Amino acid sequence: MQTTDKTAKELYFEVKANPARKRFGFGKKAALVNIDIQKAYTRTDLFKTAYENDPKQLDYVNELAAKFRKLGWPVVWTNVAYMDTAADAGIWGTRTDTPDSLQNIKFGSERSELDDRLILDRTTDVFYEKKMPSPFFETPLQSLLVWHQVDTIILTGGSTSGCIRAAGVDSLSRGYRTIIPEECVADKHESYHYANLTDLSLKYCDVREVNEVFTWLNSI
């Protein structure tokens, strides 16, 4: 095992400046999968569970969504919410039981709502409620991607170390080129955020600046 005195952030930018492996690259058609951009995780003024990395994150996500709609490509939004009894949270909901706990994000609660700053299109966008970290787990996402003949997935949302990581691993496992715009994901602590961006970029995904994704979309 290598050891270092560098921070996770320093290591990330070191890897970014000197990539050790080639990129998977963009494919022919993509889906935008926006993971749990809901008030429990975005409204830092309301909830202790919320976090922010780039203050323009939601602006970038809205711009991505607009470009995807213009191309007629899938735009997917997920959120997490549970029954009053939390019986649908499984073992994931057993570690803590406080007002801020995961399983206490209830159906119809403010914590379960997508952020009001998001620009949604209820006529074209796809909305999935999920129970576990990965958006692929027990949702119709895979069927949607197959139907639309997608070969590339753009991931946004949070948290980087949780649901984004799970989505990245599952996406690669299903054969998709997976792109994470670094400004479009966030986590509770910069250490978790950058450590996972580093690991994802080395193994499972292309972590790119959002402007690179815009450039690709504009070229189509």
User: DSSP secondary-structure letter at 110?
Assistant: G
Distance CA 161, CA 35 (A): 12
| Nearest to 157, CA basis, from 87, 52, 82 | 52
Burial class (CB in 10 A: 0-12, 13-18, 19+), 45: exposed
What is the token pair recorded at 198?
């580093």
CA angle 164, 51, 158 (to 5 degrees): 10
- Tell me if 13 sits within 8 A of 121, measured CB to CB: no
CA angle 164, 167, 171 (to 5 degrees): 140
* Residue of 163, 166, 185, 213 marked active site: 163
Place of tokens 């796809």: 126
Active site residue 184: no
Classified as helix, coil or strand, 64 is: helix
DSSP E strand stretches across the chain: 30-35, 75-80, 126-130, 152-158, 177-181, 185-186, 206-208
The amino acid sitting at 46 is L
Active site residues: 163
